[in-house]
Amino acid sequence: MKILVTGGAGFIGSAVIRNIIDNTQDSVVNVDSLTYAGNLESLSLIEKSERYAFEKVDICNRAELDRVFSTHKPDAVMHLAAESHVDRSIDGPAAFIETNIVGTYTLLEATRSYWNTLSQDKKDAFRFHHISTDEVYGDLEGTDDLFTETTSYEPSSPYSASKASSDHLVRAWLRTYGLPTVVTNCSNNYGPFHFPEKLIPLMILNALDGKPLPVYGDGMQIRDWLFVEDHARALYKVVTEGEVGETYNIGGHNEKANIEVVKTICALLEELVPENPYSKASAAHSGEDGNINGFESLITYVTDRPGHDVRYAIDASKIERELGWKPEETFESGIRKTVEWYLNNKEWWSRVLDGSYAGERLGVKG
């Protein structure tokens, strides 16, 4: 099978592509416009595979999308391209409306045009898999409530509202035009190759450099954390085995308050890099009392973001029951793997932080 993956240079998209190339015989066409969060270096391990192709294309560019479909003739689309950072959506919502809504519409229309040229057998086998977020549901009131596939939409931010809009478009294209679509909504992802603006990599890298670890409000916002490689396996299950018209919620079964996540990272760093000047061990060795709490002393509480949802939690029983998927990583195993990856891959994240990775967007090596 040949799968067209949009946003394949992003965090989740690159994990999906690595999973497909490493663990299946399928081919991948990566369609990515390489905005700031797109990083082809996240695909360096598979980029020379004969089953991988890259197209630098914006999903809002219909003519280019038509060319890609005509050239590569995919059997399925996995649509991950999106603007995804809540803070950025608050500061500048226009890009989120353009990419997440207009881009999804343009991709749907290009896909539909291509799909209509296929034989009936290929039409029936084709899938358009839209990857979305649990943030479309808003937040949960009680401590025991969970998001299910039938939870009503109540998005709180420009980001989540734009993703909710794209979900509705995808379902409408199935209902109106018969395009065989499937939707997944996932909880917070974490793991290797995560762009440093997001909570977990930001905390790791700030701590290593002795910078403040900014925590919104009281830090008690709860998220369900999903290891990105578990998510990639789930997404492949859905695109190959999911039922047309169905929605599948994908979660990690790992509810953690933000402050607990940050303190867990601090504890792991105390264990893994005791020689770091900001660790407890270094403070004790130097005889200084100022850093007696080590990395935790860097935690700084900052003003909460506007409209900040308090709790997300996913009921992922449907995908386990119907497709046989469940996460392999606990939060404890996944966060350890993540911290260790950042400690062992300074070249990747340092090129992101200094901007040199961006040279690929201009066609040059940084």
Residues noted as catalytic: 134-135, 159
C-alpha angle 73-114-176 in degrees, rounded to nearest 5? 140
What DSSP element (H or E) covers 78? strand 76-79
Residue with tokens 């403040």: 212
3-state secondary structure of 292: coil
Structure tokens at 258: 């933000």
- For residues 222 and 312, the answer to whether their CB atoms sit within 8 Å is yes
3-state secondary structure of 318: helix
C-alpha angle 321-184-192 in degrees, rounded to nearest 5? 100
Helices marked H in the chain: 11-23, 62-72, 86-91, 94-96, 104-115, 120-125, 158-177, 199-208, 228-241, 258-272, 280-286, 317-323, 331-344, 346-353
- For residues 186 and 253, the answer to whether their CB atoms sit within 8 Å is no
In the Cβ-directed half-sphere of 65, how many Cα atoms lie within 13 Å?
Answer: 25
